[in-house]
A and B are shown apart, each in its own frame.
Chain A
Amino acid sequence: MADALEITVNGQRHRVTAAADTPLLYVLRNELGLNSPRFGCGLSQCGACTVHIGDRTVRSCVTPVSTVRGPVTTLEGLGTREHPHPLQQAFIAEQAAQCGYCINGMIMTAAALLKQSPRPSDSELRSALDGNLCRCGTHMRILRAIRRVARA
């Protein structure tokens, strides 16, 4: 067992029992019981596992838990069903999901982008999302949902 590793997730401090090189994704899902970061590729190619560390987006599938410096925020920490983040509200308003498996990454990436650039141009928005894959083809709605918040 590794030395006592601790990480802060969604404002709560947690002691981690996983080995130091365990990808953050499995700690979040299996130790903390969070659902939103999703295993898509394990290769940092699709974005389904995206979380924030501080204000940065990070691919949790390739981030060893021992390297995490700073507070982790997941989709659950962004907002809840009762108190949704504006992006979560916008994705509901635009019905911007089909299967929804990629949506965590879309919202987390958009949230980081809008923090940095509250009114992105269309090409800025598209290029910020270019590393996030969606197989259902929900792209048009995802763009609409994010623009809805960017305009607000």
Chain B
Amino acid sequence: MTPTTALASSRREFLKSTGAVIVTFAWPTSLGAQPARETSAAGVDAWLAVATDGAVTLFTGKVEIGTGVSTALAQIVAEELDVRVGRVGVIQGDTERTPNQGYTAGSKTIQQGGPPIRQAAAEARRTLLGLAAARLGVTPEQLTVDDGVVALRGDAARRVTYAELIGGRRFERAVSAPATTKRPSEYRVVGTSVARVDIPGKVTGAPSYVHDLRLPGMLHARVVRPPAVGSTVESIDESSVRDVPGHVRVVQEGNFIGVVAEREEQAIRAAQALKVTWHESARLPEIADLHREIRAASTTDKTVSSRGSITAGFAGAARTIAATYEWPFQMHASMGPSCSVADVTDERATIWCSSQGVFGLRGSLAKLLNRPAERIHLVFAEGAGCYGHNGADDVAADAALLSRAVGRPVRVQWMRHDEHAWEPKGPAMVMQARGAVDGNGRAVAWEYEVWSPTHSTRPRGDAGETLAGQLQGLPIKVPFIGGDRNARHGYEIDNERVVIHWLADMPLRVSALRGLGAPQNTFANESFIDELAAVAGADPVDFRLRHLRDQRAIDVVRAAASLASWQPRIGSAARAENPIARGRGFAYAQYENENAYVATVADVEVDRRTGAIRVRRVFVAHDCGLIVNPDGVRNQIEGNVVQTISRTLKEEVRFDRRRVTSLDWQSYPLLRFSEVPDAIEITLIDRRDQPSVGAGEPAACPVPAAIANAVFAAIGVRLRRVPFTPERVKGALHT
């Protein structure tokens, strides 16, 4: 079988060909073969189906973005339904086949996406037991289930399978009837490290991503972006691509331009060759002025939290200090540039993309394509890891416009420079803290201000939320989201005021990058609490514990200190004679002040001669409530740690007055193998009696401050501006 015909096989064959748990996105080779399903979340049938061969399919609006949730959600279904995990397939993010579960974002898939799935599976099991009881002439209480086989307790010969009971038919039951879910003490599948269902395919070259989708008659396209932010098209010289072999069409919609060709390499060549005359201007600030401009911008101010009296707190204090922290623009930096395949005709639009929210994007594309949402079908297919709102939604809009223009299926992948320049960036921010301690070593006043734009411009129904829409001048409504995430610390301080200054505009497009404002605010809060500990003459861990009352917070702080064999210390033990200085730092956060608890210790080396920081070991204690898949959580923690070391030490989007200049991996470097830690050690605190909360982002939050605090311990200087490049470290050492 050639790869092409393998792909052309129906979904049924695709499912049969794999032995383990199946996660599939609907390969679109038999477009008519997948009828729309009921997607209202009220009924069991929206979530689950049992086939005639006993295979169980979960239909979920949550999607796999590389965090392993498709496996974890399958575990939840397997647990409640009493089938083996290998029997559960997962269909994700399809506007005509799955419930709308919002965005797959904010570490909320297990936390918020899991409970309705658990309920639906429990209701399905109750329905099946009722049917079995009737069939066998007994009561449901007399029955047991093992991998979808229902048997009479004590007489295994009297049995009936799920497939026999309901295979291929509908449950016709509402989820709203509160079915009893299992008690965590009964769990046999949830809480175990089930191997991820997608990894065998990914390590052997199976089609796994939207990039691998190949439709019959499909053309290839590339976009041609403006050379500078805010540029407008003056003219396009189509004769410049007339001789490019395979070239089909230049498509222009306002300042959106794309080229379509028969073959991918031809589309790339046409995009390079196309001569466009642009009107451009210098709209961006000097990068050196960025944070000053953020501070000076007119803002919408909101008090995040307030208690006691700041004035009285500072008035009665023994020592008062203040500090300002700065965070740059950063990018998602996905390894695979965004890709989408669209088949848009007058009647129907089908778009395969790796959007984190196909339902929200459908509304935006309805406006962009000027057709009712009911005639647009969005199907999720995995992309490269996105870590938030990258170009995945934008490229879906590009593909839709280009396919509509040529009337054939079109695959668009961005080039590396397209992704680097135009993906929505994680916002630059400024954080300012003032705090005071009394004579007993207790913090008595805390004043914190953060300047931030929104951290989310995700598609929720406006065409201007897509880049193609913006390039056509279509408007966008910007809600204020995420800049205040973790603006408040978790400590008990009697006099406190936390304020966010929301900026309406940013020089670059911005949107959600892993954790939104939480890593930045935690960087400032946890650096500053460390500064207060030093002026209070207290050990950083002890100082934190003095101000924590929540037992889970205390436990996680103690667990991290214990894992790292933390030795109490006061201030910095920096000694100038060592060219390689070593230090250890601590940081703690509760994600969003109400979800997972994380405490982190970082061991660093600072080379005084070069200014280079190397993070050697990291210790993490992590409490995300009930753990569904421990190895999955560990994988997320390790990933968060490495990615955030990279963001802290290396990453800053550079730009000049006109354009982003970080256009490749040399100008936007990531942490490499020779730079990642020697070891990351993890203690998981499993709270079987507590609801699961997300694990996809929390472990990122304490990392920047743990590094900054370790650098302080090593060399006695505070780094308050990310990234901690060698130049900045040397600069800090010499001031």
Contacts and interface: CB of A to CB of B under 8 A. Distances in A.
Chain A complexes with chain B:
yes
B638 A137 contact: yes
Determine which residue in A29, A84, A97, A132 has the highest number of CB atoms from chain B within 10 A of its CB, and name it: A97
A74 interface: yes
Interface in A67-110: 74-76, 79-81, 84, 88, 91-92, 95-104, 107
A102 B642 CA distance: 15
B460 to A, nearest CB: 25
B250 to A, nearest CB: 21
B380 to A, nearest CB: 14
Contacts of A22: 265
B2 A97 contact: no
A42 B419 CA distance: 12
A143 B66 CA distance: 19
A7 to B, nearest CB: 15
A120 to B, nearest CB: 12
B201 A136 contact: no
A119 to B, nearest CB: 18
Given A97-B199, A126-B674, A143-B673, A136 B66 contact: yes
B566 interface: no
A45 B206 contact: no
A18 interface: yes
Interface in B317-376: 332-337
Contacts of B721: none
B205 A19 contact: no
Contacts of B68: 98
B382 A130 contact: no
Categorize the interface residue count of chain A.
Answer: 35 or more
A127 B211 CA distance: 29
A81 B195 contact: no
A100 to B, nearest CB: 4
A141 B676 CA distance: 12
Chain A residues touching B, majority SS: loop
A36 to B, nearest CB: 4
- Secondary structure class of chain B's binding surface, majority of residues: loop
Contact of A130 (B199, B203, B674): B674
A101 B209 contact: yes
Given A42-B415, A99-B66, A135 B387 contact: yes
Max count, chain B CB within 10 A of own CB: residue among A19, A39, A45, A92? A39
Interface in B202-235: 202-209, 211-212, 214
B204 A135 contact: no
A38 interface: yes
Given A45-B664, A76-B205, A33 B4 contact: yes
Contact of B211 (A19, A38, A123): A38
Contacts of A33: 2-4, 6-7, 214
Contacts of B208: 35, 100
Given A99-B66, A139-B676, A92 B416 contact: no
Nearest to B220: A30
B385 interface: yes
Contacts of A42: 268, 415-416
Interface of A: 18-19, 22-23, 26, 29-30, 32-36, 38-43, 45-46, 48, 74-76, 79-81, 84, 88, 91-92, 95-104, 107, 123, 125-127, 129-130, 132-143
Interface of B: 2-4, 6-7, 18, 65-68, 195-196, 198-209, 211-212, 214, 245, 263-265, 268, 332-337, 382-385, 387, 413, 415-416, 631, 635-636, 638-643, 646, 664-666, 670-674, 676-677, 679-680
Report, nearest first, the 3 A-B pairs whose CB atoms are least far apart. Answer: A137-B642, A99-B66, A33-B3
